[in-house]
Amino acid sequence: MQKILAALGAAAFCAACTVSGAPVTPSTGEATEATIAANEAFAQGLPWDDDSEARLAGKGFIATLDDPKIRAADGRVVFDASAYDFADGEAHDTMNPSLWRHLSLMNNHGLFEVVPGLWQVRGLDLSVMSVIASETGYILVDPLTSVETSAAALSLVRQHLGDKPVVAVIYTHSHGDHFGGVKGVVSQADVDAGKVQIIAPDGFMEHAVSENLIAGPAMTRRANYQFGTRLTPGPTGQGGAGIGTGLPSGTFSLIAPTHTVEETGEKLVIDGIEIEFQVTPGTEAPAEMNFYLPHLRALCLAENANATMHNVLPPRGALVRDSKAWADYLTESIHLFGDRTDVMFVSHGWPRWGQSDVVTFMGLHRDAYKYLHDQSVRLMNKGYTAEEIAEVIALPEPLATKWYNRGYYGTMAHNSKAVYQRYLGWYDGNPANLNPWPPEEAGKRYVDAMGGAGKALRIAQKAYKDGDYRWAAEVASHIVFADATNMDAREVLAQAFEQMGYQAEGSLWRNMYLTGAAEARVAPEAASISALSQDVVSAISIEQVFDMLAVRVDPDLATGKSVSILFDFPDVGESRLVTIRNAVLVHEAGEGQMADATLRLPKMAFLGMIFGGQKAADLVAKGVLQMDGNPAAAATLLGVLDPPAPPEPFAIVTP
Closest CA relative to residue 246, chosen from 112, 145, 130: 145
CA distances from 507 to 28, 91, 101, 409 (A): 18, 14, 12, 6
How does pLDDT run across 337-353, given as a tens digit for each residue?
A: 999 999 999 999 999 99
Residue 376 has, within 13 A of its CA and on its CB side, a CA count of 26
What confidence tens digit (pLDDT) does each residue in 401-458 have? 999 999 999 999 999 999 999 999 999 999 999 999 999 999 999 999 999 999 999 9
Please tell me whether residue 343 adopts helix, strand or coil conformation: strand
Query: CB of 255 within 8 A of CB of 191?
Result: yes
Single-letter amino acid, residue 93:
D
The answer to whether 585 and 578 have CB atoms below 8 angstroms apart is: yes
Backbone dihedral region of 252: left (phi > 0), alpha (psi from -120 to 50 degrees) or beta? beta
228, 527 contact by CB (below 8 A): no
> What sign has the CA pseudo-torsion 414, 237, 241, 527?
positive
Please tell me the distance from the alpha carbon of residue 179 to that of residue 167, in angstroms, as a whole number.
16
pTM reported for the whole predicted model: 0.95
pLDDT at 527: 59
What is the secondary structure of 28-93 as a DSSP string? P----HHHHHHHHHHHHTS-TT--HHHHHHHTTEEE--SSSEEE-TTS-EEEETTTTTTS-SSPPT
**607, amino acid identity:** L
| CA-closest candidate to residue 594, choices 633, 543, 623, 646 | 633
All CATH 3.60.15.30 domain ranges in the chain, comma separated: 2-21+60-422
Fold of 534-639: Nonspecific Lipid-transfer Protein; Chain A (3.30.1050)
Determine whether 438 is exposed, middle or buried from the number of CB atoms within 10 Å of its CB (0-12, 13-18, 19+): exposed
CA distance 72 to 133: 28
Distance CA 348, CA 64 (A): 17
Q: Are strands 528-530 and 352-353 parallel, antiparallel or unpaired?
A: unpaired
For residue 340, CA distances in Å to 113, 273, 294, 299, 359 come to: 20, 17, 8, 9, 10
CA 551 and chain centroid, separation: 22
Contacts of 128 (CB under 8 A, 6+ apart): 120, 121, 122, 142, 244, 345, 346, 347, 348, 349
395 dihedral zone (left: phi>0; alpha: psi -120 to 50; beta): beta
**Alpha-carbon distances of 638 from 87, 284, 546, 559, rounded to whole Å:** 51, 37, 12, 14
pLDDT at residue 646, as a whole number: 67
| Through-space distance between the first and last CA atoms of the chain, rounded to whole angstroms | 35
Which ranges of the chain have pLDDT less than 70?
Answer: 1-28, 526-532, 646-647
Residues 505-541: b if buried by 16+ CB within 10 A, e if exposed: bbbbbbbbbbbbbbbbbeebbebbbbbbbebbbebbb
Count of all residues that appear for the chain in the document:
655
Nearest to 389 by CA among 378, 405, 400, 401: 378
Residues 416, 372 contacting (CB under 8 angstroms): yes
- Superfamily (CATH H level) for 2-21+60-422: Metallo-beta-lactamase domain (3.60.15.30)
Q: What CA–CA distance (Å, rounded) separates 107 from 100?
A: 11
CA distances from 73 to 70, 143, 251, 621 (A): 10, 19, 10, 37
Q: How, if at all, do strands 18-20 and 528-530 pair?
A: antiparallel
Angle at 306 between CA 182 and CA 227, to 5 degrees: 65
Topology (CATH) of 433-528 = 1.25.40
- What residue spans in the chain does CATH classification 1.25.40.880 cover? 433-528
| pLDDT attached to residue 13 | 38
Measure the CA–CA gap between 342 and 38, rounded to whole angstroms.
40
Asked if residues 383 and 164 have their Cβ atoms less than 8 Å apart, the reply is no
Helix (H, G, I), strand (E, B) or coil at 129: strand
Hey, what amino acid is at 314? P
Nearest-angstrom CA–CA distance, 408 and 505? 6
Between vectors from CA 285 to CA 226 and to CA 550, what angle results, nearest 5°? 80
| Parts of the chain belonging to CATH 3.30.1050.10 | 534-639
The dihedral through the CA atoms of 421, 426, 427, 432 has a sign that is positive
